[in-house]
C-alpha cells in the first residue's frame, strides 16, 4: 500500500496534517458546557473554572474568555483576552501559593453567579483569605464574555488556613 509513496510525499502529508490540526485548534473556540445551562452543567462550568484557576497558568485560564471579554475585578476594568492574561500574570506573581474554591450560587440561561474564597500570601509571608462573588455571562460558544468580581481580603494567620492541598 505504501510502496508507491516517496519519503517527501509522506513528509508533505504529515506537515499538511499538522497545519490543518493547528488551524482546527485555533478555530475551535468553544468551551463546554455550553449555554443554556442546567443545574448539572452550571456546576460543571464552575468546577472547570476552579480547576483552571488553581493551575495559576495565565495562558490556560485566559483561553476560557472571549477575545473581547469585559471584566471588572475589584476596582480594575479589563477589556480583552490579552489584558486578562496580563492581569493574571500580575495577580499570581503577588498572590503566592494561591488556592481557590468556587461554589455555584445561581444560574440562568447564559449566566452563572458564584461565591468563592481563596488563600494566598504575599512576598513578606503574610497570609490572606479573600472572599468574593462573581457574575459570569457566556457567549453561545461557552466562552465567558463578561465577568464582574467583588472581592474582600481578610488577613489570617498561617495556622488558620483551610486550603492545604499540594500545589500542582
The confidence score (pLDDT) of residue 6 equals 53
Vertex 28 angle, CA 78 and 71, to 5°: 10
Mean of pLDDT values over 102-127: 98
Cα separation of 68 and 5, whole Å? 46
Mean of pLDDT values over 36-52: 98
Q: What is the CATH number of domain 7-160?
A: 3.10.450.50
Task: Band the pLDDT of 8: cuts 50, 70, 90.
Answer: low
The dihedral through the CA atoms of 131, 59, 28, 69 has a sign that is positive
Mean of pLDDT values over 141-151: 98
| Residue 133 main-chain phi, psi, to 5 deg | -130, 145
Amino acid at each position: 500500500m505504501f510502496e508507491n509513496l516517496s519519503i517527501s510525499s509522506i513528509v508533505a502529508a504529515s506537515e499538511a496534517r499538522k497545519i490543518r490540526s493547528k488551524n482546527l485548534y485555533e478555530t475551535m473556540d468553544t468551551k463546554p458546557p455550553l449555554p443554556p445551562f442546567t443545574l448539572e452543567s452550571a456546576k460543571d462550568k464552575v468546577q472547570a473554572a476552579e480547576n483552571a484557576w488553581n493551575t495559576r497558568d495565565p495562558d490556560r485560564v485566559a483561553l476560557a474568555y472571549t477575545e473581547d471579554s469585559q471584566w471588572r475585578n475589584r476596582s480594575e476594568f479589563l477589556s480583552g483576552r490579552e489584558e486578562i492574561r496580563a492581569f493574571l500574570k500580575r495577580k499570581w506573581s503577588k498572590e503566592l501559593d494561591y488556592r481557590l474554591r468556587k461554589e455555584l450560587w445561581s444560574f440562568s440561561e447564559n449566566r452563572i453567579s458564584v461565591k468563592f474564597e481563596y488563600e494566598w500570601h504575599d512576598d513578606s509571608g503574610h497570609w490572606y483569605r479573600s472572599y468574593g462573588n462573581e457574575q459570569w455571562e457566556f457567549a453561545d460558544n461557552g466562552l465567558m464574555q463578561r465577568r464582574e468580581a467583588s472581592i474582600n481580603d481578610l488577613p489570617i494567620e498561617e495556622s488558620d488556613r483551610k486550603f492545604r492541598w499540594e500545589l500542582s
